[in-house]
Amino acid sequence: MYPAVIEVIPGNDYVLKVAFDNGECGLLDMKPVLEFGVFKRLKDEDAFKRVKVSFDTIEWDCGVDLDPEYVYAKCMATTEKVGPTRQVATESAVGERGGKYGR
């Protein structure tokens, strides 16, 4: 089972700060997918910033959403804060500092 997204904050340069229900947090760089299909809608910076948590994953107002397993697998560990009171994890789910969360 994958962790659920509990918080998402849009950052600069098409990067999302993501917090999961298992206490881990990370950065999700969306630039690699912005040239494909429905993700082209997110190239508009205003559209990109209208991101929210929907159920256990990420969704944008324009109807684009992401598979929660994809979000967890592609996030990179960070020591930045997500939200006003959350401290992000310093290790990934596989225990490698700065590594990917995926398996």
Residue 24 — pLDDT band, cuts 50, 70, 90? very high
* CATH at residue 36: 3.30.2020.10
Token output for 41: 């809608």
High-pLDDT (> 90) share of the chain, %: 71
For strand 5-10 and strand 57-60, is the pairing parallel, antiparallel, or unpaired?
unpaired
Residue ranges making up the domain that contains 43 = 5-77
Q: What share of the chain is helix, strand, coil (3-state, %, to 5)?
A: 25, 30, 45
pLDDT for the residue 76: 87
52 lies in a domain? yes
101 lies in a domain? no
Please state the domain count of the chain: 1
18 vs 77, more confident: 18
88 lies in a domain? no
59 lies in a domain? yes
pLDDT tens digits, one per residue of 33-77 = 999 999 999 999 999 999 999 999 999 999 999 999 999 999 987
41 lies in a domain? yes
38 lies in a domain? yes
Distance CA 86, CA 103 (A): 25
11 lies in a domain? yes
67 lies in a domain? yes
Phi first, then psi: give them for residue 74, nearest 5 degrees.
-95, -10
